[in-house]
Amino acid sequence: MRACLDRSEQGALCEQVKLRSKISLEQEKVIAEKEQKLSKLDEEKTRSAQELEEKTRQVDRLPVQLETALDKLEESKQLLKSNENGLDLAHPTYSHTLSDRYSFAFLYTSTLLNNIFLCYL
> What pLDDT, on a 0 to 100 scale, did the predictor assign at position 9?
85
Q: Are 65 and 117 in contact (CB under 8 A)?
A: no
> What pLDDT, on a 0 to 100 scale, did the predictor assign at position 1?
47
CB count in 10 Å sphere of residue 102: 16
pTM: predicted TM-score of the whole model, two decimal places: 0.50
pLDDT digits (tens, 9 = 90+) for 83-111: 777 766 666 565 555 555 555 565 556 66
Q: Kindly report the CA angle at 43 between 37 and 44, in degrees rounded to 5?
A: 90
What's the CA dihedral at 100, 102, 108, 114 to 10 degrees?
A: -120
> What pLDDT, on a 0 to 100 scale, did the predictor assign at position 82?
84
> What pLDDT, on a 0 to 100 scale, did the predictor assign at position 77?
85
Q: What are the Cα distances from residue 75, in Å, to 50, 61, 79, 95, 97?
A: 38, 21, 6, 19, 21
Q: Are 87 and 98 in contact (CB under 8 A)?
A: yes
Domain ranges of the chain: 7-119
pLDDT digits (tens, 9 = 90+) for 12-71: 889 999 999 999 999 999 999 999 999 999 999 999 999 999 999 999 999 899 899 989
- Residue 121, C-beta contacts closer than 8 angstroms, at least 6 positions apart: 63
Look over the chain and give the mean of its residue pLDDT values, rounded to a whole number.
Answer: 81
CB count in 10 Å sphere of residue 43: 10
Q: Using pLDDT thresholds of 50, 70 and 90, give the confidence band for residue 11.
A: confident
